[in-house]
């Protein structure tokens, strides 16, 4: 009897049979998030067509919990990483600034890193709109260009009127228009800037799974 007690003491828990494996909530395996799900994220760093280069990193965090069957599978604050695929500055005569971005991986609080395959949904908090599946395009500068031409024409007309009457008004307006056109031709349109806090929706093209 004494020998049996000593053997049980030495073997410890191994002699007491199997136990249920308990997995803490924070490291439970990720449940599959179906394609078509929308994951809103907020940018952590600024991206601008003024200096963005292909391959530059993009860093964001989720701003809304994603649930599957009433269980949170992607909590708020989950990190999402991506890359700049293309950066276009506005042309001197036509064309708007545009950024093409691609979110590639998600890092869960457990440390698990999983790939993302998705396209862009809505973009809020930025001056611009979505173009295609992965591009954000800046607003057109046509209105500002017309204003620059008209403004210069008005200034030229005023100066011409002071010096030479009606004929001077016409000449001054013409010179002012030329100056306005030159300003448009030799100047660039506005850069597109996605500032920290800009919310971008990622729409999953494939299920998100470990």
Tens digit of pLDDT for each residue in 18-48?
Answer: 444 343 444 454 678 999 999 999 999 999 9
Q: How confident is the model at residue 59 (pLDDT cuts 50, 70, 90)?
A: very high
Q: How big is the CA angle at 163 (ends 162 and 168), to the nearest 5 degrees?
A: 95
C-alpha atoms less than 13 angstroms from C-alpha of 75 in its C-beta half-sphere: 9
CB-based contacts of 127, cutoff 8 Å, min separation 6: 138, 139, 190, 192, 193
CA 26 to chain CA centroid, Å, is 27
What is the CATH T-level fold of the domain 28-140+189-204, as seen in this structure? Lipocalin (2.40.128)
Higher pLDDT, 114 or 184: 114
pLDDT at 124: 80
pLDDT at 130: 64
pLDDT at 123: 85
Q: How confident is the model at residue 143 (pLDDT cuts 50, 70, 90)?
A: very low
Domain residue ranges in the chain: 28-140+189-204, 142-188
Q: Whole-model pTM? A: 0.62
pLDDT at 84: 95
Higher pLDDT, 143 or 41: 41
pLDDT at 179: 41
Q: How confident is the model at residue 107 (pLDDT cuts 50, 70, 90)?
A: very high
pLDDT at 72: 93
**Alpha-carbon span 172 to 79, nearest angstrom:** 58
pLDDT at 183: 38
pLDDT per position as a tens digit, 171-191: 444 444 444 344 334 445 788
By the 8 A CB rule, do 125 and 198 touch?
A: yes
Q: Does 204 have pLDDT greater than 50? A: yes
Q: How confident is the model at residue 11 (pLDDT cuts 50, 70, 90)?
A: low
**Percent share of the chain, pLDDT over 70:** 55
């Amino acid at each position: 009897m004494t020998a049996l007690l000593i053997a049980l003491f030495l073997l410890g828990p191994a002699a007491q049979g199997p136990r249920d494996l308990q997995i803490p909530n924070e490291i439970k395996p990720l449940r599959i998030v179906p394609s078509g799900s929308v994951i809103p994220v907020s940018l952590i760093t600024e991206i601008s067509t003024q200096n963005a280069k292909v391959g530059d990193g993009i860093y964001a965090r989720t701003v809304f919990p994603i649930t599957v069957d009433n269980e949170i599978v992607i909590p708020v604050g989950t990190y999402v990483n991506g890359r700049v695929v293309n950066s276009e500055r506005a042309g001197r005569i036509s064309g708007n600034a545009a950024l093409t971005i691609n979110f590639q991986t998600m890092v869960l609080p457990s440390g698990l890193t999983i790939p993302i395959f998705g396209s862009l949904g809505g973009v809020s908090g930025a001056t611009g709109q979505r173009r295609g599946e992965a591009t954000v395009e800046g607003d057109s500068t046509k209105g500002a260009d017309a204003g620059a031409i008209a403004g210069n024409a008005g200034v030229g007309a005023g100066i011409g009127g002071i010096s030479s009457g009606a004929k001077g008004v016409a000449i001054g307006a013409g010179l002012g228009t030329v100056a306005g056109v030159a300003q448009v031709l030799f100047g660039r349109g506005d850069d597109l800037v996605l500032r920290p806090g800009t919310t971008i929706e990622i729409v999953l093209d494939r299920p998100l799974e470990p």
